[in-house]
Structure 1
Amino acid sequence: MTQTVIEQTVSVTSTVLATDEGRQRGHWFSTNPDKAWGEKFFLAYLPYFFALNYAKQLMGWMNVNTFWHMTQNLALLLPLIIIPAVLRPAVTGRAWWDNYAVKMVLWMFVYNFIGTYFGCEYFFDVLGMVYYFPQVTLSLDSALMGSGQQVIPLGMYFNAPAFFVVYHTIAVLMMRRIRTIDSGALKPVLTVVTVVGVAYLMAFLETRLVATDANKPYFWYKDLGWMLKYGSLFYACYFLPSFPMVFRLEEKPGDRWPVSKIVFEALAAGVLAIVLIDFATHFMRNT
């Protein structure tokens, strides 16, 4: 009987190890269960994300007053916080804010605050982006950076994090897949290629899908063709520091980052992004 129990134990252990080993080679989702749940939740959020953004264009919701501008952008962001905050504590036994999905949104909110407050000035003056929201009266942007000819509606601070959660989730899945296949010495090279490729792709697709004729009275680029060709490279600089840094967020089973670390890492990535796009400005002005 003892031998039978030992054989069964060995059999189960071998099966578990084989499964873990298989998952370690070429898997998409994190081995941290809480992070894997968050990644799947963000993918499930995609239909809502696309539907709301499409409805804004279809229904002409870009030309609204301050209240509705804030409301529609909060409607895009809040589900990413409320749903995990309600569902996860009962499973993880943690506070609502101590779960990967909520921490990911916090990371993006801090990162995008820097990107919006300072970075939009580069989009205005270097890339020729135009905001025109005549009914919106609340705005917030850098006092000294940029020409000051345009302002940033307050609602955009709640819009950008939702977009970036989507982009970074896709990037992290792609990076993990590359990093967990048997690529040997090519792994660092493939990781860099993946980061750069996904960064450019996300920048290009956002520009192409948002700078549409339906949005043009309220959001457009002065030269869309130039923006798609060259500006997407500039925009990709936002993602070069953030993709690898977000990948580290509670990546291993048992990881549990404090909120302070989330904030500091996002701030560091934000400063790196501003440095990169400022360097890139030297080249963009000569294209």
Structure 2
Amino acid sequence: MGGTWFSGNPDKAWVEKFFLLYSPVWMASMAMMMLTGWDQAFDDTGLLLHAFGTTLPALIIPALIACRYTTQPWYDAYWFKANLYLIVFGFFGNYFGSEYFFDVLGMVYVYPNVTTNLDATLVGTGTRQVPLIMYAYTHVYFMTYHATANIVLRRLRALPLGTVLFPLLVFAIGYFWAWAETKAMANPLIAQSFYYQKMDVMLAWGSAIYATYFIASFPVYYFLDEMRERRWSLVQTVAGGLSASMLTFYMLDLAARWVGSL
């Protein structure tokens, strides 16, 4: 890989660049939604249109332009497998993982205009629900986090001892993104839609608990089609997303036990 930032697999490199270019777009869309108060003014249909309208370009645009950059069929192209992995992992993060943030950190979504929710039946107390729009928003959040993690990890792995220090690098990058999102979301400007009831616990342990997602997922996602001669099948891609999900599940539950005992 020669210490480059982007993958030596051209089919993967152009997708990583696209994910980076699209990141400011979805961030601007989210900022406009929250700062204008549209998230409270729109009805359920309007929120779903905004959520999926923000996320679908991450799938549709690569599908439309892939022929310029790769000869792989769509089902074997990195753009499709990367999105498939993120869909699998993001579904877990919302459906199961959110319950830990509800009960351990007191996370609250405030969307009285939302009628479409989807979350676990038997995990958590069930006193809070996950709006369906969060599944779409999570996809672009995770798209950016995983793409940037790939790029930084690739560069750092090329340094002396980079391979040996890989687990520590994963932890550092995962914790950075967890801290950055936690900091951004614990914001009075969006308190009408999202806040923490247990702010003291969130400030002390929230980033570490959220980082479990990325500690589990970044190493798996990194190796997805990293070498052009070792491409993953769709089954391997889904299995990778499910494996990262189960690892996160274990760590979330251990973190909840630990924080609850403090």
Aligned twin of 2:178 = 203
Q: Does 1:98 align with 2:98?
A: no
TM-score normalized by structure 2? 0.94
Q: Tell me, in whole angstroms, the C-alpha distance in 1 between the residues paired with 2:110 and 2:153.
A: 37
Aligned twin of 1:273 = 248
Q: Tell me, in whole angstroms, the C-alpha distance in 2 between the residues paired with 1:180 and 1:46.
A: 26
Q: Tell me, in whole angstroms, the C-alpha distance in 2 between the residues paired with 1:98 and 1:29.
A: 19
Highest CA radius of gyration, 1 or 2?
Answer: 1
Aligned twin of 1:160 = 138
Q: Which contiguous aligned blocks of 4+ residues in structure 1 show a shift greater than 6 angstroms?
A: none
By how many angstroms is 1:90 displaced?
Answer: 4.6
Q: Tell me, in whole angstroms, the C-alpha distance in 2 between the residues paired with 1:59 and 1:84.
A: 30
Q: Does 1:138 align with 2:116?
A: yes
Amino-acid identity (%): 39
Structure 1 residue matching 2:122: 3-state secondary structure: coil
Q: Tell me, in whole angstroms, the C-alpha distance in 2 between the residues paired with 1:53 and 1:211.
A: 15
**Matched-pair contact (CA < 8 Å) for 1:62–1:215:** no
By how many angstroms is 1:189 displaced?
Answer: 4.1
Q: Does 1:27 align with 2:15?
A: no
Q: Tell me, in whole angstroms, the C-alpha distance in 2 between the residues paired with 1:233 and 1:271.
A: 17
Q: Which runs of 5+ in 2 are unaligned?
A: none
By how many angstroms is 1:161 displaced?
Answer: 1.3
**Matched-pair contact (CA < 8 Å) for 2:182–2:206:** no
User: Residue deviations 1:145-183, cap 9 Å, x none?
Assistant: 1111111111111111110110011111111111112x1
Structure 2 residue matching 1:157: 3-state secondary structure: helix
Aligned twin of 2:100 = 122
Structure 1 residue matching 2:188: 3-state secondary structure: coil
**Matched-pair contact (CA < 8 Å) for 2:95–2:120:** yes
Amino acid at match of 1:231: G
**Matched-pair contact (CA < 8 Å) for 2:216–2:248:** yes
Residue 70 of structure 1, aligned match among 39, 48, 52:
48
Q: Does 1:240 align with 2:218?
A: no
**Matched-pair contact (CA < 8 Å) for 1:85–1:97:** no
Equivalent residue runs for 1:52-67 within 5 Å: 52-63=29-40, 64-67=42-45
**Matched-pair contact (CA < 8 Å) for 1:203–1:236:** yes
Amino acid at match of 2:158: T
Query: How many residues were matched structurally?
Result: 261
Residue 49 of structure 1, aligned match among 26, 29, 38:
26
Q: Tell me, in whole angstroms, the C-alpha distance in 2 between the residues paired with 1:98 and 1:211.
A: 39
Residue 107 of structure 1, aligned match among 69, 85, 96:
85
Q: Does 1:87 align with 2:65?
A: yes
Structure 1 residue matching 2:108: 3-state secondary structure: strand
By how many angstroms is 1:225 displaced?
Answer: 4.7
By how many angstroms is 1:68 displaced?
Answer: 1.4
Q: CA RMSD in A?
A: 1.5
**Matched-pair contact (CA < 8 Å) for 1:80–1:102:** no
Aligned twin of 2:258 = 283
By how many angstroms is 1:224 displaced?
Answer: 3.3
Q: Which runs of 5+ in 1 are unaligned?
A: 1-23
TM-score normalized by structure 1? 0.87
User: Residue deviations 1:259-280, cap 9 Å, x none?
Assistant: 2221111011111111111011
Q: Tell me, in whole angstroms, the C-alpha distance in 2 between the residues paired with 1:224 and 1:99.
A: 43
**Matched-pair contact (CA < 8 Å) for 2:19–2:147:** yes
